[in-house]
Amino acid sequence: MLIIRSVPQANIIPLRHSVLRAGQPVETCYYEEDNMEGCFHLAAFIDGRVVSIASFYPESHSKQDTDSELDRDCTWRLRGMATDPESQGKGYGAELLKEGLRICNEKGARVLWCNARTTAAPFYSKLNFDIKGEEFEIEGIGPHYFMSYTF
């Protein structure tokens, strides 16, 4: 049975490292935003094993309409989402993201955005995220799209 819950940062680092930063120093898995006020980390567990992770925090983006203070307060970012390769395609990541969307909505989010790896864009599209703009490169990581979900 899939269990999704909020976890401390330490619980997400191993999967973040193995999936998103393989071959890079583990220090690259610690994001400045991980400890900011409002940030929360979710993990999905099967039989006590972490199979999917994601971090969410309030952050505006220049591609969003964030002219007013209210808009900045209502814009959240998804970062560091990963699913263990052996568990991909089983719906665990989708369930984890749906829970993250629910919590962000509870916190007053109007928009959730992410820099999605190009290979993950179809996954996010199935969950009603929209691609905004052209593909771009994040050095050392690869091609991405800016994507957003509107509540």
Sorted by where each begins, the domain ranges of the chain are: 2-150
71-124 pLDDT, tens digit each: 656 999 999 999 999 999 999 999 999 999 999 999 999 999 999 999 999 999
Cα(45)–Cα(2) distance, integer angstroms: 6
- Look at residue 42 and tell me whether its pLDDT is greater than 70: yes
User: Quick one: which of 38, 54, 75 has its CA closest to 5?
Assistant: 54
Which pLDDT score is estimated for 92? 98
Mean pLDDT (the chain) is: 93
User: Quick one: which of 106, 131, 107 has its CA closest to 117?
Assistant: 131
Helix (H) or strand (E) holding 142: strand 142-150
124-148 pLDDT, tens digit each: 999 999 999 999 999 989 999 999 9
Is 2-150 a CATH 1.10.260.40 domain? no
pTM of the model: 0.92
The one-letter amino acid at 81: M
- Look at residue 62 and tell me whether its pLDDT is greater than 80: no
The one-letter amino acid at 120: A
Taking the mean position of all CA atoms in its chain, how far away is CA 26?
A: 18
